[in-house]
């Protein structure tokens, strides 16, 4: 079976370096907010071309804490894409602000800037675009809209470590960005982890308090904060992987190029990368009107695939209270019926890519 992502193989190749990281943390005796987190924060900020990085417990917390740090809450509105993983929505729900979902562009799956503009009201405080599958949202247009209406743009960069938009990295495109280091992401820990990047010093300082019980000094609590910290061990592991991130993203791009070059005649719609964007290729997502048939044929051919995602947030029982009917976001709902993620990863061999291409090409609508 060609695995959807061979995480096991990737981590194995770094085993000795992980052991060295563990040994460093054990001998330091510091497990929370110590030298590894500090070093990772400065390395990751530099990587993202942002001034600050604040490590937190996971990607959802990163997004939620940014909203808190901006004092966005009850009475405010935050515009989000309908087509995303539910964490984007949950971050807004946790803050108490009102979720204002809008539809996406069919070709990229990313938030539609025209729909964003149409959804702005006097209560709108922020836009939270998602760089879905590793391709940045149309940030130039979104930042121009935000500037006209004095809004914050909070990037959900959980799938976009290393992605580029007109020469600038995800994480430095909006006012602040939330990253996830869930194991399967392009930069993944050996457990949960997350981070916020920003170039706003006041925001970074507030986030450092919020993640650590609202305290700048131990036992002196300025605000009612949270416990959401990246731990030393995960930071040590992430430093090992960050050193490989560009090389691994280049390997993903190589896989994507081969898929794009060789699936041109297959009965699928291939992903589109807009001019000025360099995708991190977190996922390689094709579309088919016979998605379920295609997926089961691929299983028979020994190819494991994924669906990102099968049910959009507005149709989940968790968000039944918002009362969005089927058909509320037609582009999003079409994508959810048609998308299929092919195997993708830095260690997918040319031979494996050829087998996936052959299997996909043999299925006809
Ligand atoms: C993974 C992911 C998150 C959440 O990250 P966690 O670390 O699992 O909390 C948020 N948004 C998107 C788009 C994601 O893919």
DSSP string, 140-176: HHHHHHHHHHT-EEEEE-TT-TT-EETTEETTSSSSE
Tell me, using a 6 A CB cutoff, whether residue 60 lines ligand 1: yes
Q: Tell me the CA–centroid distance for residue 266 and ligand 1, in Å.
A: 31
pTM of the model: 0.98
pLDDT of residue 365: 79
For tokens 């460093």, what's the residue? 24
- Check: CB of residue 141 under 8 Å from CB of residue 108: no
Whose alpha carbon is nearest atom 12 of ligand 1? 158
Alpha-carbon distances, residue 252 vs 246, 249, 268, 314, 349 (angstroms): 10, 5, 20, 31, 10
Q: What pLDDT score was predicted for residue 306?
A: 98
Looking at residue 190, its pLDDT comes to 98
Average pLDDT by consecutive 10-residue portion of the chain (365 residues)?
A: 96 97 97 98 98 98 98 98 98 98 98 98 98 98 98 98 98 98 98 98 98 93 96 98 98 98 97 98 98 98 97 98 96 98 98 98 91
* Nearest-angstrom CA–CA distance, 2 and 248: 18
- Tell me the best of 160, 182, 312 to mutate to test the pocket of ligand 1, counting ligand atoms within 8 Å of each CB and taking the most: 182
**Does the beta carbon of 159 sit less than 6 angstroms from any atom of ligand 1?**
yes
- State the burial class of residue 45 (Cβ atoms within 10 Å of its Cβ: 0-12, 13-18, 19+): buried
Q: Which two tokens stand for residue 59?
A: 């990607």
What tokens were used for 263? 């699936």
* Residues 6 or more apart in contact with residue 319 via CB below 8 angstroms: 89, 313
230 lines ligand 1 (CB under 6 A): no
Map tokens 């990246």 to a residue.
230
Tell me the C-alpha distance between 346 and 363, whole Å.
26
**Atom 14 in ligand 1: residue holding the nearest Cα:** 158
């Amino acid at each position: 079976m060609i695995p959807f992502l061979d995480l096991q193989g990737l981590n194995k190749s770094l085993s000795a370096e992980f052991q060295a990281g563990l040994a460093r943390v054990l001998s330091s005796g510091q497990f929370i907010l110590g030298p590894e987190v500090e070093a990772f924060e400065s390395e990751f900020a530099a990587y993202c071309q942002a001034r600050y990085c604040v490590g937190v417990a996971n990607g959802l917390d990163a997004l939620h804490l940014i909203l808190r740090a901006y004092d966005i809450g009850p009475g405010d509105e935050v515009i989000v894409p309908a087509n995303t993983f539910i964490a984007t929505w949950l971050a807004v729900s946790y803050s108490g602000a009102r979720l204002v979902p809008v539809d996406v562009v069919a070709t990229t799956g990313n938030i539609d800037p025209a729909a964003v503009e149409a959804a702005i009201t006097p209560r709108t405080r922020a836009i939270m675009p998602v760089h879905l599958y590793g391709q940045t949202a149309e940030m130039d247009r979104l930042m121009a809209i935000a500037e006209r209406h004095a809004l914050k743009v909070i990037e959900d960069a959980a799938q976009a470590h290393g992605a580029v938009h007109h020469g600038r990295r995800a994480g430095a495109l909006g006012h602040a960005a939330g990253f996830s280091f869930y194991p399967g992401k392009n930069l993944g820990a050996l457990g949960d982890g997350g981070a916020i990047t920003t170039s706003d010093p006041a925001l970074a300082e507030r986030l450092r308090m919020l993640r650590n019980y609202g305290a700048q000094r131990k036992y002196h609590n300025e605000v009612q904060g949270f416990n959401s910290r990246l731990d030393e061990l995960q930071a040590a592991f992430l430093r090992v992987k960050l050193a490989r991130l560009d090389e691994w993203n280049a390997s993903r791009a190589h896989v994507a190029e081969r898929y794009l070059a060789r699936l041109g005649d297959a009965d699928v719609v291939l992903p589109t990368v807009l001019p000025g964007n360099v995708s991190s290729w977190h996922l390689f997502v094709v579309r088919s009107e016979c998605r379920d048939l295609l997926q089961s044929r691929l299983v028979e051919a020994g190819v494991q695939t994924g669906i990102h995602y099968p049910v959009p947030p507005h149709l989940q029982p968790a968000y039944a209270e918002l009362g969005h009917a089927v058909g509320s976001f037609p582009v999003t709902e079409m994508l959810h019926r048609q998308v299929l993620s092919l195997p993708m990863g830095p260690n997918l061999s040319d031979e494996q890519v050829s087998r996936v291409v052959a299997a996909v090409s043999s299925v006809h609508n």
